[in-house]
Chain A
Amino acid sequence: MKALLIARRELAGYLHTLSGYIILASILALNGLFFNAFALGKAMERSSTVLSHFFYYSSGFTIVASVFISMRLLAEERQAGTLSLLYSSPVKDWDIVLGKYLAGLAFLALYLVCTLYMPLLIMVHGKVSAGHIFAGYLGLLLLGSASLAVGTFGSSLARNQTMAAFLTAVMLVALILCWLLARIAGQPLADVFSALSLWNQHFPTFQSGQVRVRDVTYYLLLTYVALFGATRVLEARRWR
């Protein structure tokens, strides 16, 4: 499958350049700092509450990581002129987008694996269920997947990486703030905004160790829609 070939090259690109490690190291450092200061900082709390705090902060860092990981995906190809290599090869536009996204997801998964030491510390010193950790990480991966897909879409629209990061951040903030719109809008719009909310409506359940089908569906659907959008942008660019 050509998407996997593209993903492999893209992932190697992250691992062979300094920028990938800089993104990884800085977000890991900040996440660790927040974990130490806020999740562990409060004296005498139940382990599950500490874990829940960890997932709360990590969700924010996952979204930020997604913005930085995704910004180069398609914008850099366009900037460097390598998009014409993909365009002139017998590869479907969907495969280009999927390959890029999968590479980003693999790199994000690497980041998440690197954060595992924090819940393991809680597990060693306190009492939390493996199920809670699993649910939290599933949530982080799904949230990251959706954010990365939105980032891939942003990257397909932009001429350069900075613009891609900016567009993605704007779209993600808009999705996060949907819950505010839900509060002020009347029905049935309130329900729509509420359902669209990237974090408020869908992540807290994972954070507390539960997995709900509607939340999983939301993140998967958002991933698909954003990747579909990116594919259409690539197709449209051939018409320019």
Chain B
Amino acid sequence: MIQVEGLTKYYGEHAAIRDVSFTIGKGEVIGFLGLNGAGKTTTLKILGCVLLPTSGRVVIDGHDAVRAPHEVRKRIGFLPDTPPLYDEMTVGAYLAYVAQLRGVSARDVRARVAEAEEQTALREMDGTLISMLSHGYRQRVGVAQALVHKPAFLILDEPTSGLDPAQIRGMRELIRTLKGSHTVLVSSHILPEISETCDRLLVISGGQLVAQGTEEALARELGGGTIEVEVRGDRARALEVLAEFGPASVVQEEGGVLALRVEASPDLRPRVARALMVAGLELLRLERGSQRLESIFLNLTRSGGVVPKAVAS
């Protein structure tokens, strides 16, 4: 549905992105990861038809973004890094304006605005001036404007930026509800924010796509990932068993209960469980380590310039 081939963008002499290629299937929710300045915003601006690439192609539903920009723009909803809001308008009037701008017929505007407000929990803010809204609400209006015309493809640049934990959870829920009805590309520089929501990840570093694939595939390929266990029993024995799978360490020891972490692929969890029980240890808890995605991300973006091969999804 969305094909990006050899996308390159130069600002003067400086290449913001180089030879970025990926495809996104219909209905997928894709996380676009990268540290600040990695080229995320430039890539998303090109997909959002705000910028033109120096070279390369973007094809959305068979329409080329450079040759047929209008066809592409009809199919996308774009939330830039700063929500494009007019402070002097009310939420409802603003969304109605955006809907008309994006080609929704006058007859359908009211229904679409109500629907977008419903989806983003903005219904009670319909008559409020945008200048009076808090940061969290402004961000929500930003998402509402991106989906008010029901685009097939939603591009959200850092939708959780500046939100508090409760608002981040709300935004994640919102993105989850969009799954299926929209194809979504959502960027972030904070991993856990998107790891739960996305089907697949694209990782960009130094203007180049360094990896793409599911979280599991990336973990497998890069050896990232940990398993956390809690057992009752002999400390040395537990460490000995876990060391067979990878470097292991004790995280906590309290009242005879040991919390340990082993650097190994979470796919090995059944084998780890079996080994611990065979060794006569009481297994109280076993789960994938929460540090997992961070370690993948850091492996990929560390020491800038080291570019691992792309991982097939």
Q: A78-99 CB contact bits vs B (8 Å, 1 = yes)?
A: 0011111111111110000000
A240 to B70: give the CA distance in the assembly, Å.
20
Assess whether B145 is in contact with A240, with CB atoms less than 8 Å apart.
no
A238 to B83: give the CA distance in the assembly, Å.
19
A interface with B by C-beta (< 8 Å): 2, 5-6, 9, 12-13, 16-17, 80-92, 238-240
Assess whether B86 is in contact with A84, with CB atoms less than 8 Å apart.
no
Q: Which residues of A contact B145 (CB under 8 A)?
A: 85
User: Which range holds the interface residue count of chain B?
Assistant: 20 to 34
A114 to B161: give the CA distance in the assembly, Å.
47
A12 to B49: give the CA distance in the assembly, Å.
27
Assess whether B84 is in contact with A90, with CB atoms less than 8 Å apart.
no
Interface residues of B, dominant DSSP: loop
Assess whether B84 is in contact with A16, with CB atoms less than 8 Å apart.
no
Closest A residue to B86 using CB positions: A82
Interface residues of A, dominant DSSP: helix
Q: Is B132 part of the binding interface, using a Cβ–Cβ cutoff of 8 Å?
A: no
Within the complex, which residue of B51, B87, B97 is in contact with A238, where a contact is CB–CB below 8 Å?
A: B51
Q: Is B50 part of the binding interface, using a Cβ–Cβ cutoff of 8 Å?
A: yes
Q: Is B101 part of the binding interface, using a Cβ–Cβ cutoff of 8 Å?
A: yes
B73 to chain A, nearest CB (A): 4
Closest A residue to B74 using CB positions: A90
Q: B66-92 CB contact bits vs A (8 Å, 1 = yes)?
A: 000010011010101011111111000
Given A5-B97, A81-B80, is A89 in contact with B86 using a C-beta cutoff of 8 Å? Answer: no
A89 to B103: give the CA distance in the assembly, Å.
9
Closest B residue to A95 using CB positions: B101
Extra A-B contacts (15), CB below 8 Å, given A80-B84, A92-B70? A5-B97, A9-B97, A13-B86, A80-B85, A81-B80, A81-B84, A82-B86, A84-B84, A85-B98, A87-B48, A88-B48, A90-B70, A90-B102, A238-B51, A240-B51
